[in-house]
Structure 1
Amino acid sequence: MYVSLPELLWMAPEHLRVYPPRQISQSGDVYSFAIILYEMCTRTEPYTDETWYQSLDDTLRRIKRGSPCVRPTLKEGGPFAQDASASHNVMDVLLRRMEQYANNLEGLVEAKTQAFLDEKRRSEELLYQVLPRSVANQLLTGKSVNPEAFDSVTVYFSDIVGFTSMSAVSTAFQESVVRAPFRVETIGDAYMVVSGLPERNGIEHVRQIARMSLTILRNVRQFVISHMPQTSLKARIGLHSGPVCAGVVGRKMPRYCLFGDTVNTASRMESSGEAMKIQISDETRTLLKTFETFVITKRGIIEVKGKGSMTTYWLIDEITTQNDGLDLPMPI
């Protein structure tokens, strides 16, 4: 007994009668080649269009019996007959069909290639959302990303005051003003952003983060919770500037992480701050003063967990040509 396999349809009857094992012969090869030509000419599998066709097992039994002789039928008026009448040459028809197959295959390859490129682009865009572009490009080209030290960056931390109590009845708040800085982490209502890495930008990082912070605070003031219109959304923001180390952690799910006291101090600036205010360290204030456009007031000396006594400041606004001469908002 043998299992009926579709490929046995290409086996010559004399070989099929003794199968298994497989037999080889010149006449058997000619038979198999003829079945292949039938498929090329009709674009169908052998025997499936026969009026007597019932199943693969039944067909194989008929072929083995050999009386009457069972062969696939070329119907008159079919596509092969029409092509043959036009060319009067079977080889011309076969060559034309093979050319059609080649063209179809070229189209399929082009479509598959385009689908691959589209998927590659989507994967790259996803990677660019979780890693800085320069770092992502290194990973995509198979290069390792070594940890790197940065002398001066500005780190932003924010927190939505009362988020825990509101989260059960509120939708997520999405900030749409982060452009040049790189968003490092989002955990619940906590938001961490850094500028000045992986591409160094002099001291421009402090101005980018300061402007982003002011814009976020303005947006928070205008934000209305649809199902809680009487409840005001309040953010607490802290900034600190200084050196950090950065690198990629993980292989299957890589993350770009920052390390160093600068990160801890920025977090403390947020946690020890007040609602709807931007607390900055003396280091951040010193850098901002070089631009001569930011309004900063002194908060005073406070005790900061893990840091001891620190002199901190409130970032109030930025004076630009658009708001020169206008009343500046006071700290809330």
Structure 2
Amino acid sequence: MNQTVQAKPRLTTSAMIASIASEGQRTDAAPFGHALVEEGLRNPRIVGMTADLAKYTDLHIFAREYPERFLQMGMAEQLLMAAAGGMAKEGFMPFATTYAVFATRRAYDFIHQVIAEENLNVRICAALPGLTTGYGPSHQATEDLAMMRAIPGMTVLDPCDALETRQCVAALARHEGPAYMRLARGRVPLILDEYDYQFELGKAKLLRDGKDVLVISSGLMTMRALEVADQLAKDKIEVAVLHVATIKPLDVDTIVAECRRDGRLVVIAENHSVVGGLGEAIGLALLQARVLPQLRHVALPDRFLDAGALPTLHDRYGISLDVMARNIRTWLG
């Protein structure tokens, strides 16, 4: 059950364009673009492709370093995916970038038929996932994980921060088969270096332990979960955080093992619709394992979301630090 607390609108400096980094938070500039340059040096088969959004997905950094290996396909996402599939069939390894809404909703059939059915080495790196823009439903990819999870053989990643974004790019450069990665752009928060973190494809990682609450999260919501854990620790509430960067294939063994531990409230937190994402994937895994903890779900509602400033929207839809912490206190009774 997804519960949110309606919050009063907050004053902000921008109504539309905002970073997911909090004020004063450590960040790393364009980690995807810089990581791809490093992998491009190691592997001459890597090419960068985009649909008129190189600057807005940080692919322009790769384009500047390797102009002969950069393809600008124009505002035609179907063509981007079809061409990426063709490049892969010729032995190249395309990293194709656009916004998540355009990659999934506009080009889904091309990904499904041209790339996935052929099991081609195309990496779709999609910016503005979930509720990371205030431009409204046309740009809010709140259902992208559900769509990509449904494609047979598709690896699906939702990295948390700049460090993990770099590590995911390196992992995908060595991976066989199609992959979809949610992408944070620009100045991306840097968090996981404090936890001596190393991404492993298909593996969930326990970042911190706690006896009262277990938050299972991915992407942006792992950052939120760690912030919530720090805030609730002031009230002597111990919060464990299990980070699930690989949505598919899901690390069922680790998730089930953590949920078997008695006495903890389990909260699944995701920057995605309540339909078809991490929550449903984990719910099915727990049901099949006959593990039934006290369970709550923090996710976006099954409706078209409002336009506005990100802090206000995150409060409104229950994925902000303050609202999430307040809800967990309520659920604990």
Q: TM-score range by the shorter chain?
A: under 0.3
Q: Report the structure number with the largest CA radius of gyration.
A: 1
Higher relative contact order (CA 8 A, sep 6+): 2
Using structure 1 for the length normalisation, give the TM-score: 0.21
Using structure 2 for the length normalisation, give the TM-score: 0.21
